[in-house]
Amino acid sequence: MRRIVADGHTLCNHGMRHEDMSAWPPERIAADLREAGDAIRAAAPYARIRYFRAPYGAWGQTPAVAASLGMQPLGWRLAVADWETPGTDELVRRLLDGITPGAVVLLHDGGRDRSQTVDAVDRVVPALRAQRWRFTVTYQWALATDRYVPPCGGTVPVLSA
């Protein structure tokens, strides 16, 4: 966690146990988000936690609760189903075919072997940079454009893991 912060990445509260919160009442959601926030702050006391993303994109009442705790709900525009581990070449194809200006791309780097995702990102980022694409921390992008990335996870298949 400290290394993530030290490397300049933006943190996002994703709940404490990656549970589907879509049917939870606000009080239960708030307790879970506070617990996750406390765990993050225990590891990285000075980190700002600007965003919340509902596990599985199952938002329910989480956006309002997250906002009440000072976090903006953050969805995504492009999911390439890297959890299917379709091969690095296929992930590269999906990323290059699907990327749009301003897109937040959903990718995974923990929980199991994510080498295909890491390898795909290692290929796609230089390729897009060569085409003059820029990459930015979402917070900076939101400030620069005054745009809000609404929850949109409902358009993405629910994960089973």
Residue nearest to Zn ion (CB): 55
Q: Of 55 and 63, which CB lies nearer to Zn ion in the complex structure?
A: 55
Min separation Cβ 126 and Zn ion, Å: 27
Note the residue count of the chain: 161
What is the nearest approach in angstroms of Zn ion to the Cβ of residue 104? 14
Residue 129 C-beta: closest distance to Zn ion, Å: 27
3-state secondary structure 37-60: HHHHHHHCCCCCEEEECCHHHCCC
Residue number with CB closer to Zn ion (37 or 55)? 55
Residue 34 tokens read as 């506070």
Name residues contacting Zn ion, limited to 22-41 (CB under 5 A). Answer: none
Residue 140: Cβ within 10 Å count? 10
Q: Residue 106 or 124: which CB sits closer to Zn ion?
A: 106
Q: How far is the CB of 18 from Zn ion (least distance, A)?
A: 6
Residues 38-97 that bind Zn ion (CB under 5 A): 55
Based on CB atoms, which residue is closest to Zn ion, 20 or 96? 20
Helix H or strand E encompassing 106 = strand 105-106
Q: How many residues bind Zn ion (CB under 5 A)?
A: 1
What is the distance in angstroms between the CA of the first residue and the CA of the last residue of the chain?
22
* Closest to Zn ion by CB, 61 or 128: 61
Which residues, numbered 95-114, are part of the site for Zn ion (CB under 5 A)? none
Among 82, 83, 104, smallest CA distance to 93 is for: 82
Give the integer Cα–Cα distance in Å for 84 and 109: 13
Place of tokens 């980022």: 125
Binding site for Zn ion (CB under 5 A): 55
